[in-house]
Copies of this chain bind each other. A is one copy, B any other.
């Protein structure tokens, strides 16, 4: 099956500028980028006047939280979790999770996200929704043992992984711990061993707020450093030296971190220290939407204001966090660029404000619409019409 995206202004992400050309997709792979494709094609998508770029990669979210939108009510993280989220989560059925997960996937597809890392519970129902949506996902079952159900959760994850690990090209698995303050050292060790055995990345909330920073020792992360690690939030990481030479990514969630009063992660320092910085929305409860473009606006502007230096971060660097760095963090090979041999996860974006003097900056700051979303070569949305239900 050959598809061609014609006449677009292509941001391949190999470079920091736009090229013109046609993208030829064969099945799920980008076959070539040529000046003017005249060969056979099953489907032609006209991208004239729009930007064609890699789909965005949301490296930390909780898809099952769809219905928690705007319930935050100006509460702090632990108050919100204790008073609102956890009591309601305790009443949610697997079907609730399935429906919420599916609606979250639709919101991502509509707003240009083609790949995400989920972190929640009721995984057998959740994964059904993910598969149905046809989005790419690093999936899991969130683990913690701060109550008596730690082993039950772990067994559920093992069952999920054993059953599902080879079933879909689109879904890979992480082993996900809620946080170091909800997991005992033994549980962390068990997780690390399992992840090593099956070569799974570990996805964990880490140093999200001052309270965690004050109570969790920076030593506690060390047993996990031999694993591939995805650290969500990372607002308060004092020392990134211990990460040197390791496969560690920090997921920046700027909107959630502001909304919950956690603070602002210093992504400039982390990047300078050689850490792979990528972007996530967090769940809808604290991010309000799953629109990654909104996160990118904050990721682009906050460092300029904090450092009082507009040159501290470029549009290309921020777009890289949401594409190339995201693919690296989640362990998906050949993803995050529009390049021969890469997976065809592609979006077409219409910038709504004229003039567009700098398309990369415009993608981060101007009003825009995602017109078309393609995952693994399959068109999930075309000209704002979802193709899947």
Q: Which residue of the partner chain, among B210, B307, B358, B366, contacts A308 with CB atoms under 8 Å?
A: B210
Q: Does A128 contact B (CB under 8 A)?
A: no
Cβ of A289 and Cβ of B75 under 8 Å apart?
Answer: no
- Chain B residues within 8 Å of A262, by CB: 305, 308
Cβ of B310 and Cβ of A255 under 8 Å apart?
Answer: no
Q: Does A181 contact B (CB under 8 A)?
A: no
Cβ of A305 and Cβ of B361 under 8 Å apart?
Answer: no
CA distance A311 to B298 in the complex (A): 20
The residues in A between 230 and 278 inclusive whose CB is less than 8 angstroms from any CB of B are: 255, 257-264
Q: Does A372 contact B (CB under 8 A)?
A: no
CA distance A294 to B314 in the complex (A): 20
Q: Would you give the shortest CB distance from A115 to chain B, in whole angstroms?
A: 20
- Chain B residues within 8 Å of A70, by CB: 355-358, 361-362, 365-366
- Chain B residues within 8 Å of A72, by CB: 310, 361
CA distance A358 to B67 in the complex (A): 12
Q: Does A190 contact B (CB under 8 A)?
A: no
Q: Does A76 contact B (CB under 8 A)?
A: yes
- Chain B residues within 8 Å of A71, by CB: 357-358
Nearest-CB residue, chain B, relative to A79: B310
CA distance A69 to B353 in the complex (A): 9
Chain A window 183-217, contacts with chain B (Cβ cutoff 8 Å), 1 for yes, 0 for no: 00000000000000000000000000110000000
Cβ of A367 and Cβ of B309 under 8 Å apart?
Answer: no
CA distance A71 to B69 in the complex (A): 36
Cβ of B358 and Cβ of A261 under 8 Å apart?
Answer: no
Cβ of B308 and Cβ of A261 under 8 Å apart?
Answer: yes
Nearest-CB residue, chain B, relative to A358: B70
Q: Which residue of the partner chain, among B309, B314, B366, contacts A261 with CB atoms under 8 Å?
A: B309
Which of A73, A209, A309 has the largest number of chain B CB atoms within 10 A?
A73
The residues in A between 146 and 166 inclusive whose CB is less than 8 angstroms from any CB of B are: none
Cβ of B76 and Cβ of A310 under 8 Å apart?
Answer: yes
Q: Does A20 contact B (CB under 8 A)?
A: no
Q: Does A48 contact B (CB under 8 A)?
A: no
Which of A305, A307, A356 has the largest number of chain B CB atoms within 10 A?
A305
Q: Does A376 contact B (CB under 8 A)?
A: no
The residues in A between 303 and 318 inclusive whose CB is less than 8 angstroms from any CB of B are: 304-312, 314
Cβ of B314 and Cβ of A74 under 8 Å apart?
Answer: yes
Q: Which residue of the partner chain, among B294, B357, B358, B367, contacts A289 with CB atoms under 8 Å?
A: B367
- Chain B residues within 8 Å of A355, by CB: 67, 69-70
Given contacts A72-B310, A75-B310, A309-B76, contact A365 B288 (CB under 8 A): yes
> Could you jot down 8 A-B contacts, CB within 8 Å?
A69-B353, A72-B310, A74-B304, A259-B301, A259-B365, A260-B304, A261-B307, A288-B353
| Ranked 10 nearest A-B pairs via Cβ | A258-B305, A288-B365, A258-B301, A70-B358, A70-B357, A261-B310, A74-B310, A74-B311, A261-B308, A70-B361
In addition to A261-B308, A261-B312, A298-B301, 16 A-B residue pairs with Cβ atoms within 8 Å of each other are A69-B354, A70-B357, A71-B357, A73-B361, A74-B304, A74-B310, A74-B311, A209-B308, A255-B365, A257-B305, A258-B301, A258-B302, A259-B301, A261-B307, A261-B309, A289-B366
